[in-house]
Amino acid sequence: MAERLNKLLARAGVASRRGADALIAQKRVTVDGKVATLGAMVTPGVEEIQVDGERVRVADVPDRHFAFYKPRHVISTVSDPYDRPTVVDFIDSRVRLFPVGRLDGASEGLMLLTNDGDLANQLTHPRYEHEREYRVKISGTPLESVLQKWRDGFWLGEERTLPAAISVESSSGGSTWLRWVMREGKNRQIRRMVEAVNHEVHELIRIRMGPITLGALKAGEWRRLSAAELRALDEGRDEPLFESGDRYFDPAVQSAGSSKAKPRYKPGWARPKRRAKRGKRQ
């Protein structure tokens, strides 16, 4: 089955789709010995693709989809010029992964990582309007008029925010926990909306993206998306398949607790404490 050349190159880990288009425009990509053109359709396993004279194998590149709990102070990109930890440092994958639904460094919670550009576009493009759900801890106790302003949407700079579903979970000790459901994701939007009415965000945790929930994942852990979750995404559903916090039982689930899923540590990271060695069995 023919697929777009830039998608195949992205799946093979050569570059992102945009990067693949740049390679094609620079005439560095050939298909069966002929210089490729933008928008070209190619049948993997039948036509030979080369980049800079090197053959690209794409026929056996599987789709990979992961749910990941991004910790605070981890960067939501593939690489970082300052060598800070990024989300892809936590997942042992042989294919190039792209983060979906970025979170700023001070925020935490659910992100998806995939090598499927179509899925990434479906989850992030505004026209699909998938719900995103957050738990947000703010300073003080917001007035009902403030809550209603957030719910109705208002002008934030040159853009107007869309209506959102916002409820109070609890309020004590000079702070309030909110449940915040929205269908957009402008840069630092929740933080800016909160700051616009003289409150501050102390914690921000994303717990759901469309039908995918954080579940029982802890910071730094990940799992593969189940077949049911992928079907729900393909159908454009938003209803959560599992409530966040519930145990997620699936034989395919893996997490950072397994030996293959531990993040690669970088200079400046806190090393995990070594477990005490057990005595030999008698």
User: Catalytic residue numbers?
Assistant: 104
Q: Which residues of 107-135 are buried (b: 16+ CB within 10 A; e: fewer)?
A: bbbbbbbbbbbebbebbbeeeeebbbbbb
How close are the terminal C-alpha atoms of the chain, in Å? 60
Strand partners of residue 69: 110
Place of tokens 């995939």: 114
In angstroms, the CA 5 to CA 226 distance is: 27
Write out the E strands in the chain.
Answer: 3-4, 29-31, 34-35, 41-42, 49-51, 54-56, 65-70, 98-100, 108-114, 132-139, 155-156, 159-160, 165-172, 175-182, 201-209, 212-213, 222-224
